[in-house]
Structures are given as structure tokens and as C-alpha cells.
Amino acid sequence: MDAQSIIARRVARELRAGNLVNLGIGIPTLVANFVPSDLKVFFQSENGLIGTGPMPEQGMAHPLLTDAGGRPISALPGACVFDSAMSFGLIRGGHVDITVLGGLQVDAEGHLANWMIPGKMVPGMGGAMDLVTGAKRVIVAMQHAAKGKSKIVQKCALPLTSSRPVDLVVTDMAVINFSGGRITLQETAPGVTVAEVMAVTEADLFIPADVPEMRI
Amino acid sequence: MKAVSVEEAVALIPNGATVMVAGFMGVGTPERLLDELVRQRKSELSIISNDAAVPGKGVGKLFDAALVSTLTTSHIGLNPNVQKQMMANQVAVNLVPQGTFVERIRAGGCGLGGVLTPTGVGTMVEEGKRKIEVDGKHFLLETALRSDFALIHAFLADYLGNLAYALTARNFNPVMAMAADTVIVTAEHIVPVGVIAPDHVITPAPLVDYLIANG
């Protein structure tokens, strides 16, 4: 299984019936593909929709119904639309149960950096700062390392997205949580050993006695 | 409300004006007004828009024609032209978190001086801003945003100027329609008064100054 599918499948297991969920672009978007059909969750698109459905079939796209990246989507029965003030009121106001976001770095304190690389890439923060600040639970879905460098660092060198720590990081190698304010290895990916995770992790992970394998 | 041609409406906008352009990645954006801004070569514009869309679409057209000097926005990641113009110091870009962006405009439209938000506390966004503690929680004071013009796109407009929107094309339209001295609207359909039921009017007619007649 490829890295992105491992991450998306594992994140999907965090969703609970009735959750209002916001998925960021990139790997997080894939999470929707792995939600069991009998699990009813609400997906929010921050451009003003709750109840996003899959991309419509060829020829069925509506130009006024898109996701936050401007791509055509569908709206499920029971969907509703609203303006951007409402959309971010939902996000900042703590009404979103889970947000899943991509990341550039996450550090030992759970701080996320995901919106710019100074001098190199300045796309803007979009809704990321509000999502991390306001959602009840923040999950980061990203590759464990990029170009051989750990993305789980002791302290973020890149500009932070929020001073609020994230709750869970899911990578192609591990699941990491921050319960009790301590960066803790919760699970390893199938076929990956604890030693292998530690070898590619810059931050000083706390390793509990029992680290089970991810169920995906 | 006055019904005018797109040429007449855009002629009202001077070079150097501050202009809010509604829409999200070009969805719910008044394309005809943007095309006319380009045709009339209105320049040195200060644009307030959620994103920079993509080249050739929505507010992106204004950057293709190099008509913008300042952009206040939350995201430019999908428009390489804007990033190039920013790096070359042709466009000054003020990046604002999206939720803060919309609340600043809402404040501007509602007679508020600004809002207190936790978003941005402890990040680069807090630089130069007042931090205010309320009941032990930290907030940034984000000031209100207003503009000379707001360019709005509705799905339905009635003869009075009541507006209704469709699906995700609503986005920033109702908020920006509150926050400008002059509000100019294009609509996909212009319909008789009463077609939009009172419960379904999102932007009340008195907010609309100019409605572009459909050709």
C-alpha cells in the first residue's frame, strides 16, 4: 500500500458518527475515500458547504458547487450552504469536531507549521490558522520525512500555524499523540519497527512499553 | 438601486480605488465587472479578495493585466502570477487568515471597529497588533475593513435589488455587500419582484447601489 493510502486509511478510523469534519487539501482530502459507507459524518468545505459529496460524474458538474480548491464536488442529501462568516464561525467557534490538515513540520510540543517557507513558498495561510485554533480536534496527515529529513522536529523552524498544539499526527510510519503534553509514539505502520521510526524522527519521542501496529 | 450597463458601472471606479471582489477561487465572482475593469485599464487598484484565483479566472484577470498595487487576501498559492509580482515588489500582499479576513469585513459592514480573535496568537500574524486578554484568554485586535467599491455576483436579483445566491457561490458576497461605499452587482438572472421569497433574500435591496443589466 502506498504511503498516502496508509495515512488516509488510518486517519479515517478517527472519525465518529455525527462528526463535523473539515479536510484540508492534499493527503487529507483522501480520507473521505476510506470512510465506511455506514458511518454518517458531515464534511464541511470552508467555502460554504456542509454535506460535500464526491466529484460528480462527467458532465454533471455545477460551476457554482465546488470545494475550497475550486474543483467540482457534489452535495449529499441534507447538505446546506452558508456564507464565509458562518463557515469560519463554525470553524473558530469550536463547532468542527475534527480537522485534518497537511503539515510541513510538527514539533515536540505539538506545534504545527504548514503555511509558508520563508523566501521560498508563500501561498498564504488560507483557513489553516483558524482551523488549528478553533477545531475541537486537530489531526495532521503527512509523510514522516521529506527528502530524507524528518518532519517531526524538536522545535519548528518554520513559521507556526497556531500556538494551539495539534492532537494527533498520522504519517506513513507512525501515529504520534501529545496526550499529557508529551510527544508519544502511539502506533507504528505495518511492517515498521519502533527503532525504524526513531531513526527517522528528529524529535525525542516518548516510547511506551507497548506500541501496537496501526490497524488500517 | 439603479440599473446600469457594465461600462457605466466600471467607469465610476477611479484608478487607485479600493475594491472588494467577492468569490472563492473564482466561484461567485462578478466576471463581467472584472473583464470591464481590464478593458478600461483601471490601474493601481487596492484589491480585497479572499484569494487570487488562478490566471485567466476571477480576480486573477486583474493580475494578468498588472492592474493591482495592493492585495489583501488569505491565499495566493494557486496563482503564480501574483507570487511573481509579489516577489518583484510590483504588488504588496497582505496575508490575513481567512476567518479573520471575513470577520474584518463583517465588522466594517456592521459599524464595528474590529474583532477580537484567537487566530494568529503566537504566530507571525500577531506582529504589530494589540493583544487583549479577556477572561484569561488571549486575542488579537483585528481592525475593520471597508472599501470604496464592492463587486458582487448573485444568482438572482429582483428589480429592486434583493439578492439570492446559489450553492458555494455565496461565500463572501453577502458580507462584502455590507462593507463598501458603493455596491455593484451582477446576477445570473434578473427576476420580477416577488420571485425571491422574503425568506430567501440574503442581501436586502437597500444595500445595492448598481445592478448590471443583463444583455
The domain spanning residue B11 has which CATH number?
3.40.1080.10
User: Among all residues of chain B, which has the CA nearest to that of A65?
Assistant: B168
Among A175, A143, A191, residue whose Cα is nearest residue A5? A143
Type of residue at B15: N
C-alpha grid cell, residue A31: 480520507
Report the gap between the CA of B124 and the closest CA in chain A (Å): 7
Q: How far apart are CA B48 and CA B106, in angstroms?
A: 13
Centroid of chain to Cα B95: 15
pLDDT in tens, B70-107: 999 999 999 999 999 999 999 999 999 999 999 999 99
In a domain, B133, yes or no: no
| Chain A, window 115-174: residues with a beta carbon less than 8 angstroms from a chain B beta carbon | 122-130, 133-134, 159-163
B99/A130 Cβ within 8 A: yes
- The C-alpha cell 455576483 sits at B153
Residue B6 confidence class, pLDDT cut points 50, 70, 90: very high
Contact of B171 with chain A, judged by CB distance below 8 Å, is answered with yes
pLDDT for the residue numbered B215:
74
Subunit contact B171:A161, Cβ cutoff 8 A: no
Set of chain B residues whose Cβ sits within 8 Å of the Cβ of A82: 170
Is residue B123 in some structural domain? no
SS3 category, B214: coil
A107 touches chain B (CB under 8 A): no
Instruction: State residue B141's pLDDT score.
Output: 98
Q: Is the pLDDT assigned to residue B38 strictly greater than 80? A: yes
B190 Cα to chain A: minimum distance (Å): 17
Domain limits for position B17: 2-112+144-212
Portion 30-89 of A in contact with B at CB < 8 A:
45-49, 62-66, 68-70, 75, 81-85, 87-88
Determine the pLDDT at residue A133.
98
* pLDDT for the residue A26: 87
Let me know if B13 is exposed, middle or buried by CB neighbors in 10 A (0-12, 13-18, 19+).
buried
Looking up cell 506513513 gives A172
A191 Cβ contact list (under 8 Å, min separation 6): none
C-alpha cell at B50: 479572499
- pLDDT the model gives residue B155: 98
pLDDT at B126 over 80: yes
Residue of A nearest to B121 (CA): A163
Task: Please report the sign of the dihedral spanned by the C-alpha atoms of residue B195, residue B196, residue B198, residue B199.
Answer: positive
CA distance readout (Å), B145 to A142, B107, B108, B135:
35, 7, 5, 26
**Residues 121-160 of chain B whose Cβ lies under 8 A from any Cβ of chain A:** 121-125, 155
Taking contacts as CB-CB distances below 8 angstroms, the residues of chain B near A92 are 99, 117-119
- Give the pLDDT score at B193: 98
In percent, the amount of chain B with pLDDT more than 70 equals 100
Distant-in-sequence, close-in-space partners of A97: CB < 8 Å, separation ≥ 6: A16, A19, A20, A21, A135, A136, A137
CA B122 to the chain's CA centroid: 28
| B30 falls within a domain | yes
Please name the amino acid found at residue A64: L
Q: Do A88 and B103 touch (CB under 8 A)?
A: yes
Q: Which of B27, B97, B118 sits opposite A70 (nearest CB)?
A: B27
For chain A (216 residues), the mean pLDDT of every run of 10, in chain order, is 95 98 92 94 97 91 93 95 98 98 97 94 94 98 96 98 98 96 97 97 96 94
Optimal mutation site among B119, B125, B137, B178, interface A, most CBs of chain A within 10 A: B119
C-alpha to C-alpha distance for A139 and A166, rounded to whole angstroms:
6
- Work out the end-to-end distance of chain A between its first and last CA atoms, rounded to an integer number of angstroms: 11
pLDDT score of A120: 86
The residue of B81, B168, B200 whose CB has the most chain A CBs within 10 angstroms, and thus the best one to mutate to test that interface, is B168
Model pTM score: 0.97
B122–A122: do the CB atoms touch at under 8 Å?
no
Q: How many CB atoms lie within 10 A of CB A181?
A: 10
**pLDDT tens, position by position, B48-66:** 999 999 999 999 999 999 9
Q: What is the ipTM of this complex?
A: 0.96
Q: Is B205 helix (H, G, I), strand (E, B) or coil?
A: helix
Residue of A46, A17, B173 lying closest to A28 (CA atoms): A46
B109 part of contact set with chain A, CB < 8 Å: no
Region B123-135 average pLDDT: 98
DSSP B70-138: EEEESB-TT-HHHHHHHHTTSSEEEE--HHHHHHHHHHHHTT-SEEEESTTTTSGGGTTS-EEEETTEE
- Give domain status of residue B50, yes or no: yes
Q: What is the DSSP letter of A135?
A: -
Contact B53/A at CB under 8 A: yes
**Angle between helical axes of B98-109 and A84-92 (0-180°, round to 10):** 120
* Catalytic residue ranges of A: 46
Q: Are A75 and A52 in contact (CB under 8 A)?
A: yes
Indicate the domain borders of chain A.
3-199
The CATH homologous superfamily of the domain defined by A3-199: Glutaconate Coenzyme A-transferase (3.40.1080.10)
Helix (H, G, I), strand (E, B) or coil at B209: coil
Digit-coded pLDDT (tens) for B167-211: 999 999 999 999 999 999 999 999 999 999 999 999 999 999 999
Helical residues (DSSP H) of chain A, grouped into ranges: 3-12, 27-30, 84-92, 128-134, 194-199
Closest CA to B148 of B172, B183, B175, B101: B183
Query: d(Cα B125, Cα A28) in Å, to the nearest integer?
Result: 25
